[in-house]
Amino acid sequence: MADIMKFIMDDKLIDTDPEGYLLKLDDWSEDVARAIAKEDNIELTDDHWEVIHFLRKHYSDFGISPNARLLVKTFSKEFGEQKGNKKKLYQLFPNGPSRTGCRIAGLPLPNDCVDWPA
């Protein structure tokens, strides 16, 4: 069995896998997102939140976390090329918009997650 990591948020014990992905989707909150982002030295802006909420809606609608290719395609379709292009998403999430974005959004790592080089 893989090691389970834990942290405390507002007196609640939050379990994650060794890579920092939440084990229970219901443990997610915006405060938890901020704490996870802080570990990656990311201060969440409105642009980050737009992506995070998009990821959560996508997961809610389709039951999967989008990989980087799908994220770029669907986010740019909904919010326009200027916001949804690969370069912009990597500026927001330098370690990978899908991998890091999903972790901050409290979602599982996409099964076929391959983030492109920035």
* Residue 102 is a catalytic residue: no
The pLDDT value recorded for residue 1 is 43
Domain boundaries, the chain: 30-104
Task: Name which residue leads in pLDDT, 44 or 15.
Answer: 44
| CATH superfamily of domain region 30-104 | DsrC protein, C-terminal domain (1.10.10.370)
Per-residue three-class SS string for the chain: CCCCEEEEECCEEEEECCCCCECCHHHCCHHHHHHHHHHCCCCCCHHHHHHHHHHHHHHHHHCCCCCHHHHHHHHHHHHCHHHHCHHHHHHHCCCCHHHHHHHHCCCCCCCCCCCCCC
Mean per-residue pLDDT over the chain, rounded: 88
The pLDDT value recorded for residue 107 is 96
Query: Which one of 113, 115, 116, 118 is the catalytic residue?
Result: 113
How much is the pTM?
Answer: 0.87
